[in-house]
Structure 1
Amino acid sequence: MLRVANLVKQYINEAGERKGGVSGVSFDVKEGELFTLLGPSGCGKTTTLRSIAGLEHPDSGLIQLAGRDLFDSRADVQLPMYERDIGMVFQSYAIWPHMSVFENAAYPLRTRRNGHLSREEIESRVMRSLEMVGLSEYRNRSATKLSGGQQQRLALARALVREPKLLLLDEPLSNLDALLREQMRSEIKRLQSEWGVTTIYVTHDQSEAMALSDRVAVLNNGVIAQMGTPIDIYDRPRCEFVANFIGRTNLLRGKLASQVRAGDIAAVHTSIGTIRCMFSSSMTAGHQISFVIRPENIELQPLNGILSDAAPNSVNGHIQGKVFLGEVAEYTIGVDGDQNLIARTHPSIGLNRGDRVRASFPEHKVIAICD
């Protein structure tokens, strides 16, 4: 459906230094897929989105939608935004304050350049889009009288009313409070699925990306650091940036004890002992590596004052801190070698600051970072 190949867009400041932009970004989005560009501020995600929309003129690369060139630097093709058959929702909603809810949603149909629609067709399309977002009963209300969540729904209805081939969402939930963000996440996923529209979603919020996406591209400094399903990226990060950016993690370092091949589980010598972890690629013995243990993959067992040698893939330590997070409690465990581990488990385990514990982690949940 959408192809982006070797996209380059550089921004140069007054000192001649590169600031932001993208360098050689490439990805494909399948028809009906919700694909997320995720990363911190300045990573290039919005530049990529604006280039697809036609709001930026890239330096080089190729952008195709349904086999049609939207941008091709070699062929000197740069279609204007209104010819790209794309709907877009901005962070600010961009609602017309002097129009009713109906007129806001109808605006793209009244101004479209590819043919005149009858009044009946406009009425049918607008009411369908408003019904889909739960705003049909507000059709005559001033758009400024809507709540923040309702304005966001109206922005979605306006983007979808044209029945575009591609929907672009640029940080659409960032202005909403936490509870409303969670509700709108579910709403966006439902609408995207029911309309079947191919969607690119831009966000810096990892939880949004994990909850909404079929696939995610994590960007950093203008390049894609990793691309895959939310589960793949969370469970098998390929670099330290992705490991740290996607959720809470324990990042440790050590020396590989023996040569390994892709798929092997092997021992790594660390400051807290020998840890067995899983490898996604071949490496030679003695190689310095990093590895990741997610907090929820650490099991805590009270030692009850009994000194005991740690079992394989476990370490003994003591609780240094505890934070109640509702459905889970987060523990900071001090272990030998001046190393701390973060573990998350059910609060009913009943551990408190100062308690001695054994922290265990399955070897297949300890992931070596091989990049």
Structure 2
Amino acid sequence: MLKQFFIICSGSDTDILEACSKGEQNKYAGIGATVFFTAVMAFIAASYALYTVFDNLFIAIGFGVVWGLLIFNLDRYIVSTIKKTGHLTDELLQASPRIILAVIIAIVISKPLELKIFEKEINQVLLEQKNELTLANKNQIAEQFTPNIEGLNNDITTLQQQIDTKEAEVNQLYDTYIAEAEGTAGSKLLGKGPVYKEKRDKHDALLAELQLLKAENKAKITATETQIATLKSDYENQIETTQPIINNFDGLMARVNALGKLPWLPSFFIFLLFLAIETSPIFAKLLSSKSAYDFKLEDQETAIKTNVLQNKNQREALLKTDYAINDRIYNDIEKEDELYTYKRKKTRELMQLQADAFFKHQKDAF
């Protein structure tokens, strides 16, 4: 039963093969087995590729079955349409479009399986790419927030410098009026005289300005720090929002690109393997000599072709004969006086009827 199934997979005529030797049947069973297992590999490859896209096992298997059946039908058609003519050049020309199609199918089948075979290496490449994308993403987002944050920090620095400058002036005035009181500077008079009082008043006025400036600038600094905290929070939120997109950067196209960054030789040999599997039924038929099955198939096709041509020629001869007979009959009738007299009589009656009808029509019009 398995042998019969593989023979059906080969696309050969089972009725003709039944009349052939066991060796001939085994040859076509082997070709059919290659076609079948190629379709199985296509099913596995398509299922894995679509699973990476949809992340759903049932959808992947469903599409995989459809793709496997499509490849099976194509391969079966390719093998069944190659006819042995006994001339290798003619057979190669006949098979060249099918070989090109087989190469395309081999590429489509091998690529998803390469993705699975080199999955660990691809994951490493994707991890490096994700890290690079993460850093680039943070830098791009930082470019949106850093200028504003730096500007606000500069504002805080400016406000603090104003306080420090005013505080330094107050401290300098404090040292001045203390030195005046001690008699170590200024008028050199010990005690709290008029000069001391003047300098003390100046210090107290500037101290009041310092306290007011501190209160105003501290409020501005607090508001600015709040803005900075808000910007930093927005920055972190935007990073958290965009990071899942980077984390999901492992789709089919990303994996194919990552595979392209790996050494090409292992992938090339896997492609050659599937190319050999896909084209083996074609080359098996091309390289094999013309066998009993091919002769029987050619005999059946030529018999049908001969019968069709015979029927066509007979119909053409019958039509030609019918034309000749009709020409002779009408030529003979043309010379008969009796037929001429009868037709002349009927024509006269018809013309009279037409004249009467015209006269009646004209009379009714008046």
Identify, as 1 or 2, the structure richer in strand: 1
The structure having more radius of gyration, on CA atoms, is 2
Identify, as 1 or 2, the structure richer in helix: 2
Answer whether TM exceeds 0.5 for this pair. no
Q: TM-score, normalised by structure 1?
A: 0.21
